[in-house]
Amino acid sequence: MPAMPARPAILDPCLIRIVCPLKQRSRRLLATATHQLPRNQPWSHPPASTSIDNDQVARLASRPLHPLTLADLVQHGRPPLSASTLFTSANFTLSLLPIRLAHRIQALRNLPFIVVSNPHISRIYNNYVHSLSTLLPYQERQINTLEDEIQFTEVMADLVQTHADTIPILARGFLECRKYISPGDVTRFLDEHLRARIGTRLIAEQHIALHLSSQPHCTHNDQHAQDGSSTSIGVIDTALRPAEIIRQCESFVSEICELKYGVRPTVIINGQPDTRLAHVPTHLEYILTELLKNAFRATVESGKERDPIEVTIAAAPDPSPSPPESIHLDPSRADPTTSNTPPGVTIRIRDHGGGISPENLDDIWAYSFTTFGDEELLDLGNGNADALNAISGAGGDSSSLAGLGYGLPLGRAYAEHFGGSIMVQSLWGWGTDVYLKLRGLGKI
C-alpha cells in the first residue's frame, strides 16, 4: 500500500518548528499555572465546569463578540516588528479570545443534556474550558514584558494544538447523538461553532506568526523579510496567487484520487491565472482542496476521467454583494489605507461528473450529508462503530476523497468568513459548476 500523500501544510513550516518547542514548554507551564481538567479523556458525566468560575464565564459570554476583519489582523504586523508591537498584538488577542471561548462554552452548555454528555462532545467542551482557563490568568493584567509575551505565545500554541481535531470529534459526537437532536439543530450549532472556530484559530495563529517573524533565529519567510520583499503579514499573504494554491491542492487531491480509483483527471487553469489578492492561504487551501475533491470524485465515478476539470480564475473588481451580518466585515472599521474597493476574485470549478441529483440538491449544505460510500457504510442510525470510524477518519486527516459531508458547508463557512461566497450550479446528468468568490483586503 503506497504511503498516504501529505496534505499541504496548514501551518508554515517555520511555525511548526516553533510551535512544537513552544508546546513542550507550555505543557510544563500550564501544569503549574492552572487547575484544568484532564484533557483527552472522555467524560462520563455532563460537564460540571468545576475548573472555571461559572460567573466569570457568564460575564465573558454576555459581552458582545468583536467583529474580526482582515484589517484587524494585519494592523499589528507591518514591519519592522518591535517588542511593543508584539505587546499590542498580544493584548489585542487577549481582548478577543476569552470572550469568544466563553461564548462557545455557553453554546455547548445549551445543548441538550444527553448530547453534551456524549464523550466526544464533552471532550470538545473540556478543550474549551481548558483553553479559557489558560487565558484567565492574563485577565487582570496587560502583557508588557517579553517573558509574558513568550508565555502568552506558548498559550496560543497550546490553544491551536488543543483544538486541532475538533471537526472529526464533533462529527462523531453528533452522529452518535442523532436520535436526540434534530438535524436542523445540529446544522445550526455546527455552523455557528465552526464559523466561530475559524476566527478564534486565526486570531491565535496570527499572534504566533507575528511572534515568529520578530524572532531573528526563526524568521518567518527569512530571506524575503530581510530584503523587504515578503508579502506575508503573519498568516495573511497580501499578494496571494490563487493559481498557485490550485496547483498545490490539485497535486494533493490527484494523489488521493489515484490511490482510491487508480486514475487522476487533469485540471486546466484558464482565465486570469496571474490574479493576486490579499487573503489567508490556509483558508483558500482548505476550500479548494474540498471543491477539487468533489469534482475529482464526480468525474471519476461517472467515468468521465478523460474530461479535464476546468478552473477559471476571474479578477472581480466589484466585490460580492454585502455579506450577511454574521460575516464580520465592518467597512467602518476598515484600514484607512485600504482602497475603497478591495479587489476580489471569482474561481469557477467546472466538472463533467454528472451533476447533483435534484433530490439531493437541498441537502448538500447540511453537515454530514454525503452520497459517498453509501454501499460501504452500514446504517449509521444503529451507531455502527465501523461506519463512525470510517467517517471520523475521513475528516481527521483530510486524506479521503469524501465521506464526512463537511466539505461544502465548511468550505462555504471559510469563504464567507471574510465576505466571500460559494455557489453551486448543477446541470443534472451533465456536470457541476462551483463559483467561489473571495473578497480581498485591498491595498495594505
Q: Does 153 bind ligand ADP (CB under 6 A)?
A: no
Give the residue, chosen from 356, 388, 436, 438, that forms a contact with ligand ADP under the rule CB under 6 A.
356
What CA–CA distance (Å, rounded) separates 89 from 80? 14
Q: Does 405 bind ligand ADP (CB under 6 A)?
A: yes
Based on CB atoms, which residue is closest to Mg ion, 157 or 424?
424
- Cβ 414 to Mg ion, closest distance in Å? 13
Give the residue, chosen from 402, 415, 422, 438, that forms a contact with ligand ADP under the rule CB under 6 A.
402
Q: Does 369 bind ligand ADP (CB under 6 A)?
A: yes
Q: Does 407 bind ligand ADP (CB under 6 A)?
A: yes
CA 87 and chain centroid, separation: 26
Return the range that interacts with ligand ADP (CB under 6 A); candidates 78-86, 128-136, 225-233, 364-372. Answer: 364-372
Residues with Cβ within 8 Å of 440's Cβ and at least 6 positions away in sequence, in order, are 277, 278, 279, 319, 342, 343, 344, 345
Return the range that interacts with Mg ion (CB under 5 A); candidates 280-288, 327-335, 405-413, 416-424. Answer: 405-413
* 110-119 burial: b if 16+ Cβ within 10 Å, else e: ebeeebbbbe
With beta carbons less than 8 A apart as the criterion, state whether 221 and 264 touch: no
Q: How many CB atoms lie within 10 A of CB 179?
A: 8
Give the residue, chosen from 432, 436, 439, 440, that forms a contact with ligand ADP under the rule CB under 6 A.
432
404 binds, among Mg ion, ligand ADP, none (CB under 5 to 8 A by kind): ligand ADP
Pattern of binders to ligand ADP over 17-46, x per CB under 6 A?
------------------------------
- Cβ 359 to ligand ADP, closest distance in Å? 11
CA 321 and chain centroid, separation: 23
- Cβ 408 to Mg ion, closest distance in Å? 6
- Closest-CB residue for ligand ADP? 407
DSSP labels, 386-435? HHHHHHHHHHHSS-SSS-SS-HHHHHHHHHHHTT-EEEEEEETTTEEEEE
What CA–CA distance (Å, rounded) separates 366 from 344? 27
Q: Does 295 bind Mg ion (CB under 5 A)?
A: no
Cell of 170: 464533533
In the chain the first and final C-alpha atoms are separated, in Å, by: 47
* 197-209 burial: b if 16+ Cβ within 10 Å, else e: bbbbbbbbbbbbb
Give, as ranges, the residues between 275 and 314 that touch ligand ADP (CB under 6 A). Answer: 290, 294-295, 298
DSSP labels, 118-132? SHHHHHHHHHHHHHH
Q: Does 401 bind Mg ion (CB under 5 A)?
A: no
Q: Does 168 bind ligand ADP (CB under 6 A)?
A: no
Look-up of cell digits 479587489: 343
Q: Does 194 bind ligand ADP (CB under 6 A)?
A: no
- Closest-CB residue for Mg ion? 407
295 binds, among Mg ion, ligand ADP, none (CB under 5 to 8 A by kind): ligand ADP
- Cβ 221 to ligand ADP, closest distance in Å? 32
Give the residue, chosen from 173, 342, 354, 407, that forms a contact with Mg ion under the rule CB under 5 A.
407
Give the residue, chosen from 370, 392, 398, 421, that forms a contact with ligand ADP under the rule CB under 6 A.
370
Give the residue, chosen from 105, 402, 436, 441, that forms a contact with Mg ion under the rule CB under 5 A.
402
Q: What helix, strand, coil percent values describe the chain, rounded to 5?
A: 50, 10, 40
What CA–CA distance (Å, rounded) separates 235 from 206? 6
Q: Does 416 bind ligand ADP (CB under 6 A)?
A: no
Q: Give start and end residues of each alpha helix (H) in 110-241.
A: 113-116, 119-135, 146-162, 166-176, 183-213, 222-227
Based on CB atoms, which residue is closest to ligand ADP, 218 or 364?
364
Based on CB atoms, which residue is closest to Mg ion, 47 or 407?
407
With beta carbons less than 8 A apart as the criterion, state whether 160 and 208 touch: yes
Q: Which residues bind ligand ADP (CB under 6 A)?
A: 290, 294-295, 298, 351, 353, 356, 360, 364, 369-372, 402-408, 432
